[in-house]
Amino acid sequence: MEARDDYILTSSDEAFALGEEGRQLALSLSAAAYEKTLKSILFALKEARDERSWNDYEQNGVRDFSNALQGTATGMLRQACCADSDDAFSMNIYRVGQAVSGVARLRSLTYFEQTQFDRATRDILALFREAQSGGLAEKLRATYAATDPTIPREYANSLFPAEAA
């Protein structure tokens, strides 16, 4: 077994760098989870459009799965931002997650109607393409920057993406 001294960080710069690396990793995992949420919603919508059916069983299964993915993504974003669930920024982080995940759009679908599903599919597809092009990561980085503890709260609030409002 190694000695405890092998695990002690020797300077605050090293501790900061290690913490920053972990937060960046959590931020990238969050972006990947949001993208996976969008992809799963797109698959579900395609299946519903192909079968022309959206019954309660399908709705509940898709919503439960996408809510779980969104919860994981939002949790990772909160970890990256070092925000507790009762933190002042927590609601803004939640709002950003709702806007980029597409889950709220999925909740609006109650029964199969072609026009409604076409519109929802276009909306989710636009979010997915934005995620693939880096727009999602940019919004998450803006959220991350707004929660930096070294900047004043008034300035921090202006850094949040528009989705946080």
5 within domain boundaries: no
145 within domain boundaries: yes
20 within domain boundaries: no
pLDDT band for position 110 (50/70/90)? Answer: confident
pLDDT value, residue 6: 52
155 within domain boundaries: yes
Handedness of CA 109, 114, 117, 123 (dihedral sign): negative
Residues recorded for the chain: 165
Q: What is the pLDDT of residues 1-18, one digit of tens each?
A: 444 445 555 567 777 778
Closest CA to 73 of 158, 147, 131, 117: 131
pLDDT value, residue 8: 55
Q: What is the pLDDT of residues 113-160, one digit of tens each?
A: 889 889 999 999 999 999 999 999 999 998 888 887 777 777 777 777
128 within domain boundaries: yes
pTM of the model: 0.84
Q: What is the mean pLDDT of residues 63-74?
A: 93
| Cα angle: 148, vertex 35, 142; to 5 degrees | 20
Residue-range definition of the domain harbouring residue 84 = 36-164
pLDDT value, residue 92: 86
69 within domain boundaries: yes
pLDDT band for position 81 (50/70/90)? Answer: confident
Distances (CA, A) of 102 to 12, 37, 157: 40, 8, 23
DSSP state of 164: G
Q: Work out how many domains the chain is built from and give that number.
A: 1
First to last CA, the chain: 51
